[in-house]
C-alpha cells in the first residue's frame, strides 16, 4: 500500500525507496528529539524550578525564535542552500542538547535563576534549529514522493514516543539510587546528543547519494529549482544534464509565494487550527508522564493510517470539517478534568494524538500535488510556517488553563 499511485521514478530506483524512507524517519526523529527530551524531563525541571512553570515558559520561549526564523527562511527559500540550512539545524540541535547536559553538570544540578536563564537560552537555540530543519526538510521532501514526507512526519511523532520511553527507562534504571532523578536525566540527554550527531552524518553523507533521492532532486533542478544544487553536487552530479541554462527562465515561470499561499489557504488554515488546538492542551495541561506517553504513541500510530489509500482523507472540504470538529475537545477536556476520572482523560488524550498525527500527514501529502519542484519546496516551507504559527498561538492559549489556580 502506498500513499499515492505508483510514482514516476524508474522501476530500478524503487529498490532504494525503502532505504530513503527509513532515513527520512530517522531525520524526522532527530528534528524534534532534542526538544521533546527537554519537555519529557519536565518532572526533573519542576523539581529544580518549582515556581517558574518550566514546561510552559520554555515552550513559550522556543516558539517565537522558531517562528521568526521560519518567516525569514520561508521568505528567502528559493535563494537558500537547503543542504547548508539542514546541516546547520541538526548541528544546532546536537550542540544545544550537549550544552543542556553541560549546564546541569556545571551547576551540580542546582536550581536558581542563573541555570534557569541558561536553560531558556538553550530553548531559544532549539527554536532556531527547528525552523532550519523542519522547513528545510519538508520543503526538500515535498518535491519527492509523498511516502518520504509521511515517513519524516512519522519520525517527528516518534521523537515524542521515543523520548517518553527512554525517560521511563532511565527513571526506572536509577529509581532506587541516590539522586536517581538527576542521573536518569543526564543519561537521557547523553543518548539524545549522540542521536542528533548521527542525523548530521546521515543527512550530509548518506541520504544525498541514494539514487532515488538524486532522481527527484535532478528532476526538481530541471524544473528550475536552485535549492537542490548543493545536494546534487554532494552526490557527484555537476550539471550532468546541462540544466543550468534553463534555471532563470524556469524560475520566472513558477508561482510566487503569495500565489501559492492564496491557492492553498485552506491547507494553511488546517495546519494552523490543528496545532492551535493541540498545543493549547498538550503538553502543559497533561502533566502525568503516562498521559504524555499515550499522546505521543497515538500521534505516531495515526501518521501511518494515510498509507492505506482508502483511509486517507483527500477532500479539501472534508479535511477542513475534520479540523474544525476537533475544537469540541476543548469543553470535553475541561469537564473531564473537573468531573471525569482517569479513564476518560486517557481516552481524550488518545483521540487528541490520533487526530493530530492523521490530519497533519493528510495535509502535507495532499498539498504539493500538481506543482513543480520549486513550487513544492516553497509550499512546504509556507505550510511549516503556518504549523509553527498554530503552535505559537496554542502555546500562548495554554496559559488559560492556569486561570483560577493558586499557582498562577
For residue 100, is it left (φ>0), alpha (ψ between -120 and 50) or beta?
A: alpha
Across 63-198, the runs of DSSP E, i.e. the strands, are none
DSSP 351-378: HHHHHHHHHHHHHHHHTTTT--HHHHHH
pLDDT of residue 408: 44
pTM above 0.75, yes or no: yes
Question: pLDDT 10s per residue in the chain (408 long)?
Answer: 454 444 445 666 677 899 999 999 999 999 888 887 777 777 777 778 877 777 778 878 888 999 999 999 999 888 888 999 999 999 999 999 999 889 888 887 777 788 889 889 999 999 999 999 999 999 999 999 999 999 999 999 888 777 777 777 776 776 666 676 677 777 778 888 999 999 999 999 999 999 999 999 998 888 888 888 888 888 777 654 444 444 455 555 788 899 999 999 999 999 999 999 998 887 655 556 678 778 888 999 999 999 999 999 999 999 999 999 999 998 998 898 888 888 888 899 999 999 999 999 999 999 999 899 899 999 999 999 999 999 889 888 876 665 545 454
Is 29 buried (19+), middle (13-18) or exposed (0-12) by CB count in 10 A? Answer: buried
pLDDT score of 197: 94
CA distance 67 to 165: 29
Q: Is the peptide bond before 283 cis (omega within 30 degrees of 0)?
A: yes
Amino acid at each position: 500500500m502506498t500513499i499515492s499511485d505508483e510514482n514516476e521514478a524508474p522501476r530500478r530506483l524503487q529498490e532504494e525507496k525503502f532505504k530513503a524512507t527509513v532515513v527520512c524517519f530517522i531525520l524526522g526523529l532527530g528534528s524534534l528529539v532534542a526538544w521533546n527530551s527537554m519537555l519529557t524531563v519536565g518532572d526533573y525541571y519542576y523539581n529544580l524550578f518549582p515556581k517558574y512553570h518550566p514546561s510552559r515558559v520554555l515552550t513559550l520561549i522556543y516558539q517565537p525564535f522558531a517562528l521568526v526564523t521560519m518567516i525569514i527562511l520561508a521568505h528567502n527559500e528559493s535563494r537558500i542552500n537547503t543542504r547548508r540550512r539542514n546541516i546547520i539545524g541538526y548541528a544546532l540541535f546536537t550542540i544545544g542538547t550537549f550544552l543542556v547536559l553541560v549546564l546541569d553538570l556545571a551547576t551540580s544540578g542546582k536550581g536558581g535563576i542563573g541555570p534557569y536563564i541558561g536553560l531558556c537560552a538553550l530553548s531559544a537555540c532549539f527554536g532556531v534549529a527547528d525552523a532550519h530543519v523542519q522547513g528545510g526538510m519538508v520543503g526538500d521532501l515535498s518535491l519527492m514522493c509523498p511516502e518520504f514526507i509521511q515517513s519524516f512526519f512519522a519520525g517527528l511523532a516518534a521523537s515524542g514516543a521515543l523520548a517518553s520511553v527512554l525517560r521511563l527507562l532511565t527513571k526506572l534504571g536509577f529509581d532506587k539510587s541516590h539522586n536517581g532523578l538527576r542521573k536518569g536525566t543526564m543519561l537521557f540527554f547523553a543518548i539524545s546528543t549522540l542521536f542528533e550527531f548521527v542525523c548530521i552524518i546521515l543527512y550530509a553523507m548518506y541520504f544525498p547519494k541514494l539514487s532515488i533521492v538524486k532522481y527527484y532532486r535532478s528532476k526538481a533542478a530541471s524544473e528550475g529549482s536552485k535549492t537542490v544544487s548543493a545536494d546534487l553536487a554532494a552526490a557527484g552530479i555537476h550539471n550532468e544534464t546541462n540544466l543550468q541554462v534553463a534555471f532563470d527562465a524556469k524560475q520566472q515561470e513558477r508561482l510566487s509565494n503569495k500565489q501559492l499561499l492564496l491557492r492553498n489557504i485552506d491547507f494553511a488554515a488546517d495546519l494552523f487550527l490543528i496545532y492551535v488546538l493541540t498545543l493549547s492542551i498538550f503538553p502543559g495541561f497533561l502533566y502525568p508522564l503516562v498521559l504524555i506517553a499515550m499522546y505521543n504513541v497515538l500521534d505516531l500510530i495515526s501518521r501511518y493510517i494515510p498509507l492505506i489509500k482508502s483511509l486517507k482523507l483527500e477532500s479539501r472540504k472534508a479535511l477542513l470539517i475534520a479540523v474544525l470538529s476537533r475544537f469540541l475537545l476543548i469543553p470535553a477536556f475541561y469537564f473531564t478534568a473537573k468531573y471525569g476520572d482517569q479513564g476518560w482523560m486517557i481516552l481524550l488524550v488518545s483521540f487528541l494524538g490520533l487526530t493530530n498525527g492523521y490530519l497533519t500527514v493528510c495535509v502535507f501529502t495532499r498539498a504539493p500535488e500538481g506543482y513543480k519542484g520549486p513550487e513544492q519546496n516553497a509550499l512546504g516551507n509556507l505550510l511549516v510556517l503556518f504549523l509553527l504559527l498554530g503552535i505559537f498561538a496554542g502555546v500562548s492559549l495554554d496559559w488559560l488553563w492556569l486561570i483560577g489556580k493558586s499557582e498562577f
